[in-house]
Amino acid sequence: MKKHIVLWTIMALGLVHQSCTPSDQPAQQETQVKEEVRQPSADVAEVPEKGALSGHPGEQLFNKHCKKCHPGGGNIINSEKTLFRDALASNNINTPEDIIRTMRNPGKGMPRFGEEKISNSEAKTIAEYILETFN
């Protein structure tokens, strides 16, 4: 009895599958087109993450200390306090020293980055990276 139920189920599934596919040829063509679309063209350059300034000495420090909360220059805690120049300027942050001051004495939602965590030299490198990258 179980054998007959299994056979009827398999046959029914086969009929449903056939009725869903108008013909094998268009389905194969559609699959081929989808595969072609997935393959990137050899002449398309890889686009870096928004705001990435590859090779800048502050990039690695930024990625280590800042990127978690400021991916791509944004801000996951407060969307009005991004690292883009217009948002920085609206918060009276215009120079590397302003950024360092904010790192050392941040407002609500941002951890404090004291000299024991990020040296003055590293802080300046990060600040310059931010100003050059997210403008």
Q: Specify the pLDDT at position 40.
A: 40
In-domain check, residue 66: yes
Q: Specify the pLDDT at position 43.
A: 39
Q: Residue 7 and residue 100: Cα distance in Å, rounded?
A: 73
In-domain check, residue 80: yes
| Helices assigned H by DSSP within the chain | 2-20, 24-38, 57-65, 85-90, 96-104, 120-133
In-domain check, residue 88: yes
Which residue range(s) make up the domain with 91? Answer: 57-133
Query: Hey, which of 1-5, 12-16, 106-110 has the most confident mean pLDDT?
Result: 106-110
What confidence tier does 7 reach under pLDDT thresholds 50, 70, 90? very low
What is the average per-residue pLDDT within 72-83?
95
What confidence tier does 54 reach under pLDDT thresholds 50, 70, 90? low
CATH code, domain with 98: 1.10.760.10
- pLDDT per position as a tens digit, 26-36: 444 444 444 44
Q: Specify the pLDDT at position 89.
A: 96
In-domain check, residue 35: no
In-domain check, residue 101: yes
Q: Please give the tally of structural domains in the chain.
A: 1
What confidence tier does 55 reach under pLDDT thresholds 50, 70, 90? confident
In-domain check, residue 103: yes
pLDDT above 70 coverage of the chain, percent = 60
Q: Which residue, among 73, 79, 47, has the nearest Cα to 59 in the 3D structure?
A: 73
Query: When comparing pLDDT for 81 and 4, which is higher?
Result: 81
Backbone phi, then psi, for 125, in 5-degree steps? Answer: -65, -40
In-domain check, residue 78: yes
Q: Specify the pLDDT at position 12.
A: 46
In-domain check, residue 15: no
What confidence tier does 18 reach under pLDDT thresholds 50, 70, 90? very low
